[in-house]
Amino acid sequence: MNRRLILLTIFSLLPAMAVAWGTREGDEPLSATALRAALVGQVLTFHDDGQSRFYGDGRYSYTYGQGGIAYGHYAINDDGTVCIGFINGARRCDLYVRNAARLVIITERGDRFPIRP
């Protein structure tokens, strides 16, 4: 995939409109700077043993706890969201918040997924 196509894909992932994220008391969305520090080059592990990897060049992979891997590219947005475009054509945006020192992902549907410390 050439660089221009990757950039166009990332820009198309930006949220088109505001989403009611269903945040809870104590949820503090991360800034883009804090998101970069928490995500880029990191592996986030969920309680079902799934793992999200955010590579420094914008690539993303999710390894399912029972096996299998989904690949894509991510974009970090100023509003505390991260949007991912998967190579199978699916896309999603999630809000990242801290609550009581725990990192939590909130999906557009309002599902909450805490990250293991």
Q: Are 38 and 96 in contact (CB under 8 A)?
A: yes
Q: Rg (Cα) of the chain, in Å, rounded?
A: 14
pLDDT at 93 over 70: yes
Residue 21 and residue 116: Cα distance in Å, rounded? 21
Residue 12 and residue 80: Cα distance in Å, rounded? 17
Q: Give the model confidence (pLDDT) of 12-21 as tens digits.
A: 555 434 567 8
Q: Are 84 and 13 in contact (CB under 8 A)?
A: yes
Q: Where are the domains of the chain?
A: 3-15+25-114
Q: Give the model confidence (pLDDT) of 37-70 as tens digits.
A: 999 999 999 999 999 999 999 999 999 988 899 9
- At 16 the pLDDT is 39
Dihedral (Cα; 93, 12, 1, 42), 10-degree rounding: -30
Closest CA to 97 of 33, 27, 18: 27
Phi, psi for residue 49 in degrees, rounded to 5: 75, 5
Q: Give the model confidence (pLDDT) of 63-90 as tens digits.
A: 998 889 999 999 999 888 999 999 999 9
Distances (CA, A) of 74 to 25, 26, 91: 28, 26, 10
